[in-house]
Amino acid sequence: MPYLLALFPVLVVGAFLSYLFILSNSNHTGMEFLDIVHPLWICALISICIGLFKKDRRYLIPFAISTLAALFFLGVDKFNIMVEYDEWVRRGMPSAFEESHRRREKKPLLKNVDEFIESFRQGKGIFDIERDKSIEYLMIGSRPDPKALKILGDELATGTQDVRLHIIALLSRLSYLSTTQDIRNPEILALLAGPALSKTDKARDFAMEILSRSVASANLSPYGDTFTKALKEEPTENALLLVAKAKPPSAWEEVERLSQLPEWNTGSKRRVVRIARAALGDKKIEDEYIAKAAQEEHAGHVKKMIKTLSVLTKIGTRSSLQAVCQRMRTPLKYDDYPESYQESARVNIIEALKYAYPERTELVYHFKIVNDKDYIKVEQFCMQELGVSFEGVPRPAFFKVKGRPDNEAERQWWVDPARRSPDCKPPPGAVLPCDPPDTEDD
């Protein structure tokens, strides 16, 4: 009996230490560990009472262990270890813990822009430091510090390629912390569209990619001539996509010139040239893509349709975006990983629309789609923003993702190579359509 009583405090302390060193990566918890002291005191009291009653000195063992365990937990609390979270915050411990956590993780906290630049020169990127906590030192309230941005801009204009890459990543993160899901801060936008494009290196291409994916067309338009100049200096695929989104009339002559060159008439280069031409007013190319998307939808070629819709969002004209929005009620499903995964084409359509409208909160990432209301919000956006009508088109039952089919016959058809052959014919009753491989350049 005394040894059973002694086992209780041993198990309690063992469980606490296991949680502390194995499961917890912070200095606080959602539980109040100090409450464990009460049953430990009770165990000690029961042990001493039974020992006195039976006159058995063995009960001093559980009494001593329970008492020491209780004192251990009181000491742990005294040193602010594994304190219940609200109490931990009340004691002002987060900043103190973060300092020790940074030392343990060996990720430094940078406190001014010069330290950032020096860190970048040493080859350390923003993921090698305490990123968001450090970035707070470059902010004044909810906006980036103009003095810090001036220093970063100067380094962007003169720094090495690697330093420039790190600064561009930092500017992107600064913008997201100061605004919303798109880049709209005018000072940061001016740096990304200015000194970030001053050298023809990988950093310039990285800045162009961020601008085309994360900035609304209206905010890119004022820099249209700058983008045209950059395209003339060093034509790249990202430069063409950026021009397509900003749509500066001054870029037409250069895009037309590139379209005549043999090296820009194959593979992905041909596709981006065609995107830029359509974005700048080549109605014939735009209509080709719109018709292509309709044909692929009718044939059930989901992968091809999604690729074409993505091209249409990059063209970004009203007609192109209407054609994308019109598929928001498609029942088609996309299986990128045929043995284990199936996804609604509507999810991919929303992802495509985010390219054209990064500022719109209705266009959420796939992991934020939880029910039909999320699809309906996108439909309403399409109706209000682009005048799309869904009259006569039934809304399919809610579907986002699913594992491989439960039905064995359907599962066999899912992985059958014949399903991806050009002359595919679905067997009777097959839910999944044919999906031949995409071999076209554009």
Same domain, 21 and 77: yes
C-alpha distance from residue 78 to each of 72, 73, 74, 314 (Å): 10, 8, 6, 59
Across the chain, which distance is largest between two alpha carbons, in Å? Answer: 104
Res 159: pLDDT:
93
Q: For residue 182, is pLDDT > 80?
A: no
Which DSSP string corresponds to 364-381? --GGG--SHHHHHHHHHH
Q: For residue 302, is pLDDT > 50?
A: yes
Which band of pLDDT confidence, cut at 50, 70 and 90, is reported for residue 39? Answer: confident
Same domain, 96 and 121: no
Q: What percentage of the chain reaches a pLDDT higher than 90?
A: 45
Token pair 């993921």 in the structure block, residue: 127
Same domain, 378 and 318: yes
Same domain, 315 and 357: yes
The domain boundary, picked from 47, 73, 102, lies at 102
Res 119: pLDDT:
87
Amino acid sitting at position 177: L
Average pLDDT in the 383-391 region?
94
The domain boundary, picked from 181, 215, 249, lies at 215
Same domain, 340 and 323: yes
Same domain, 372 and 391: yes
Res 30: pLDDT:
45
The verdict on residue 408 lying in a domain is: yes
Res 420: pLDDT:
58
- Least confident stretch, 20-34, 65-79, 360-374: 20-34
Average pLDDT in the 23-46 region?
65
Average pLDDT in the 8-24 region?
70
Same domain, 116 and 97: no
Same domain, 88 and 120: no
The verdict on residue 427 lying in a domain is: no
Write out pLDDT tens, residues 99-123.
444 444 456 667 788 888 998 898 8
Same domain, 84 and 135: no
Q: What angle do CA 271, 217, 289 make, to 5 degrees?
A: 30
Q: Which residue has the higher pLDDT, 314 or 172?
A: 314
Split into its structural domains, the chain has a count of 3
pTM tops 0.75: no
The verdict on residue 390 lying in a domain is: yes
Look up the domain containing 43 and give its range.
Answer: 2-102
| Other C-beta atoms lying within 10 Å of the C-beta of residue 406 | 8
Res 229: pLDDT:
96
The verdict on residue 225 lying in a domain is: no
Same domain, 111 and 76: no
The verdict on residue 276 lying in a domain is: no
- Least confident stretch, 80-84, 214-218, 386-390, 432-436: 80-84
What is the pLDDT of the chain when averaged over all its residues? 81
| Other C-beta atoms lying within 10 Å of the C-beta of residue 284 | 8
Structure tokens belonging to residue 224: 């249209």
Q: What are phi and psi of 29, to 5 degrees?
A: -150, 165
The domain boundary, picked from 172, 190, 215, lies at 215
Which band of pLDDT confidence, cut at 50, 70 and 90, is reported for residue 264? Answer: very high
**Half-sphere exposure of residue 158, counting CA atoms within 13 Å on the CB side?**
6
Same domain, 115 and 176: yes
Tell me the three state secondary structure of residue 28.
Answer: strand
Mention every residue, 6+ apart, whose C-beta is less than 8 A from residue 261.
none
The verdict on residue 272 lying in a domain is: no
Which band of pLDDT confidence, cut at 50, 70 and 90, is reported for residue 74? Answer: confident
Which alpha helices (DSSP H) does 193-266 contain, by range? Answer: 202-214, 217-220, 224-233, 237-246, 252-259
The verdict on residue 310 lying in a domain is: yes
Same domain, 128 and 171: yes
Write out pLDDT tens, residues 316-344.
999 999 999 999 999 998 775 555 567 88
Structure tokens belonging to residue 279: 């974005």
The verdict on residue 148 lying in a domain is: yes
In angstroms, the CA 383 to CA 391 distance is: 11
